[in-house]
Structure formats: C-alpha cells, structure tokens
Amino acid sequence: VTLGMESGFGSDFGSGGGGGGKLDPGLIMEQVKVQIAVANAQELLQRMTDKCFRKCIGKPGGALDNSEQKCIAMCMDRYMDSWNTVSRAYNSRLQRERANM
C-alpha cells in the first residue's frame, strides 16, 4: 500500500536548517495516521468491490437487475461486518500485547 508520504513532508524536512523550521513529531504522526486510514479505506473499498462484483454480477450490462442489486447490498453489508469484526479483534489484541510489554 502506497501512502504517498513524500508529498506532504518534503518542505518540512528541507526547512530544518536555519533556526525557523522545527519538525513537530506529533504533527507528522497525525499525518501518517490519516494517510494510513485513507489507504485502509481505499483498500477496503477496492476489495469489497472486486469480491462483490465477482460474486453478484454474472454478465455485466447496462443496468443491474433486482437480484444483482440485492446481492451487492447483502455482500457489501457482510463484508463490512466482517471487516469491522476483524478490526476490533486485531485492535484489542494489539492493546493486550502493548499492556503486557
């Protein structure tokens, strides 16, 4: 997953020489967190689209029929529920492991 960090930080890193431009590690971490969240959302959307399209659309055409629409809606709901369940389990495991350090 490409985060594209080079676009937002180039001027910050280059300005640290002459006394005015200090790097703010907190700000940088927040920017990285936002970029990771955006990359995760894009990955989720791409995977969900690929899987649900393959599952629900037999022959692509100009419009979706009722059964295809229902299939896609159900598929996306299930995929989001699964993603959220896995994310919660992963986050709670990370928190437990950090607490045990």
Cβ-based neighbours of 52, under 8 Å, separated by 6 or more? 71, 72, 75, 76, 79
CATH class of 35-100: mainly alpha
**Model pLDDT for residues 20-68, shown as the tens digit of each residue:** 567 888 899 999 999 999 998 999 899 999 999 999 998 888 999 999 9
Pick the closest to residue 77 from 39, 46, 41, 48 (CA basis). 48
Rounded to whole angstroms, how far apart are CA atoms 89 and 20? 44
Answer yes or no: is pLDDT of 18 > 80.
no
Answer yes or no: is pLDDT of 19 > 50.
no
Answer yes or no: is pLDDT of 14 > 70.
no
Structure tokens at 20: 């005015």
pTM (whole model) above 0.85: no
Domain ranges of the chain: 35-100
